[in-house]
Amino acid sequence: MIDVLLRMVKRIYRQQKPGAVTLGVVPDGRALAMVFSHDIDFNRSIANTVTYAEHERERGFAGTHFIQTKYIRDWDDSIFLNDETRVHVARLLELGMEVASHSVSHSLVFSRFSLGSGEEIYPSYRPFVVSATETHDGFILGELRVSKFLLEGMADGIPVESFTWVS
């Protein structure tokens, strides 16, 4: 909705101010930018995301695929990070998609995690989702650092620059 408001303000400004100057904020001088993103946070959804990516590529655009890197079976889901995940991540990259982080634990209480030390590493970082309202040993920096490390390892060093979580 903020786009609508900003477009309205821009239109009023340009109508009221002779010689008004505005900057284009959409790439390639286009009128509208759309961002396609996918949250891959269910163990069987990784295969589906490749189908979506192929569909996007056929139509000439790319999306961002936020991939969870869960490696511990807990209340929320089974282990997500495996050899199949690596194959699908490679295919996403072949298709020109952005691979991004959707956390390690996918905890519904991420917003209550403490910051952590910044020294969290795989495999000693072991967040455990007990229930929808409780996660043990989860830290913000652990979720960021470890998921980035794991995805970049699967992506032959292609940098992971985006992160999202469940709110």
pLDDT at position 146, please? 97
Q: Which value, in Å, is the radius of gyration of the alpha carbons in the chain?
A: 20
Return d(Cα 75, Cα 66) in angstroms, integer: 21
* C-beta atoms surrounding 67 within 10 Å: 29
Check residue 167 and give its pLDDT. 56
Other Cβ atoms within 10 Å of 63 Cβ, number: 21
Helix (H, G, I), strand (E, B) or coil at 97: coil
* Bigger pLDDT: 42 vs 66: 66
What predicted TM-score, i.e. pTM, was given to this entire model?
0.81
Q: Place 89 in a pLDDT band, splitting at 50, 70 and 90.
A: very high
CA distances to 31, 60, 107, 131 from 77, rounded to whole Å, are 41, 34, 11, 11
Looking at every residue in the chain, the average pLDDT score rounds to: 90
pLDDT bin (cut points 50, 70, 90) of residue 23 is confident
Percent of the chain's residues with pLDDT above 70: 98
| Domain residue ranges in the chain | 37-154
- Give the pLDDT of residue 53: 96
Quick: pLDDT tens for 133-167: 999 999 999 999 999 999 999 887 788 999 988 65
Host H or E run for residue 130: strand 128-131
166, 110 contact by CB (below 8 A): yes
